Homo-oligomer: A and B are copies of this chain.
Amino acid sequence: MKTFAEATAVHGGDGVYQAELDPQWAIGDKLHGGYLMAILCRAVAGDAALAHLVAVTTTFLRPPKAGPATVRVELLRAGRTSGQFRARLEQDGTSCAEALVTQGELDESAAFWSSATTPEMTAEDDCVLLPSNPPGAQFPVHLLDVVEHRISPADLGFALGQPSQSGRIASWLRLADGADWDPLSMLVALDPAPPISLTLGITGWAPTITLTAYLRRLPAPGPLRVTMHSTEILGGRMDEVVFVWDAKDNLVAQATQLAGVRH
C-alpha cells in the first residue's frame, strides 16, 4: 500500500507533470476529490516559488480512472507574498478537473483574531473507526484503509439505518501510513467521506461540483479533528462546510463545497 506522499507523487516540471492515480484513494470506483486536489496542488508546488498551498478551488468535470494522468500548470501571476496558478488534470487527452490555486507561505503563528471555537468532541479512543468494507455496504470505501476515520458514536446512526438528521459529522482523522498531516494531505481531510447527506438518510453518492479550500496554518503533529455541516439542501444541490483543527487546538484549514445530491 502506497503512502500518501507516494500516491500523490508527480514527475516533470515547467508546467507539465505526470501522476499515477492510485485506486486505493477511492470510494467504490470513484477516486476521492481531496486526493485528486492534492495531486493537482503538488504539481503546482513544483512550479511555484513559494512553499505552501494557501487556497485552491477545483471544479470537477469528469471522474478519472486509476492509472496515468497528466497535470498541466499555468502561472497566472507571481507576486511577492502569493503566486496564482491554473492547473488541469487530464487523462487520455480529456480534462477531468480544473483548479485555481494560490501558493504562499504558512507558519504556526497565533491568530491575530479569531471567532473560531475548538469543537467539543468525543475522545478519539471513544470514537468508532469506520471500516472500509462494512457488512451490507454497496461498495468498499478503499479510502478508509489509508485514512483512519474515527467518528463520534452520536453521528454514526447512518451506518445503522438510523440517520441522526443533524446535518453534522465530527471525526478524528489520521493517515494510516503514520505520516504527519501537511497542507496537501489536509485536502483529503477537507473533502471527507461520508457526505453530510448520509446523516439525513440520503444514501446516494454526492458528487462534488466545486470545492474551495483555504489552508490557514501548518498543522501540529497528531490527529486532525474535522467538523462538517451543511447549510441547506435544495434543487439537487448541497453545500458542505468543513473546519479542521490540529492537535494544538488551532484551526488549520477550512473548506466549502457544492455537491450534487438526489433528495
Binding site for B on A (CB under 8 A): 54-55, 57, 59, 61-62, 76-77, 81-82, 84, 86, 95, 98, 100, 102, 104-107, 109-116, 167, 200, 209-210, 212, 214, 216-217, 229-237, 239, 243, 251, 254, 256, 258, 260, 263
**Chain B residue nearest in CB terms to A230:** B115
Interface pairs A-B: 5 shortest CB-CB: A57-B57, A112-B263, A212-B212, A111-B234, A61-B77
Distance in Å from the Cβ of A251 to the closest Cβ of chain B? 6
* Cβ contact within 8 Å between A100 and B57: yes
A236 to chain B, nearest CB (A): 7
A215 to chain B, nearest CB (A): 10
Q: In the complex, are the beta carbons of B76 and A95 less than 8 A apart?
A: yes
Enumerate chain B residues within 8 angstroms of A86, measured Cβ to Cβ.
Answer: 86, 98
Q: Is the interface of A mostly helix, strand, loop or mixed?
A: strand
Query: Could you list some 10 contacts between A and B, CB below 8 A?
Result: A54-B209, A55-B210, A76-B98, A104-B237, A106-B235, A113-B234, A115-B229, A115-B232, A212-B256, A216-B237
Contacts of A260 in B (CB 8 A): 81
A248 CB to nearest chain B CB (Å): 14
Output the least CB separation between A205 and chain B (Å). 15
With a cutoff of 8 Å between Cβ atoms, the chain B residues found around residue A236 in the complex are 81
Q: Which residues of B contact A77 (CB under 8 A)?
A: 61-62, 95
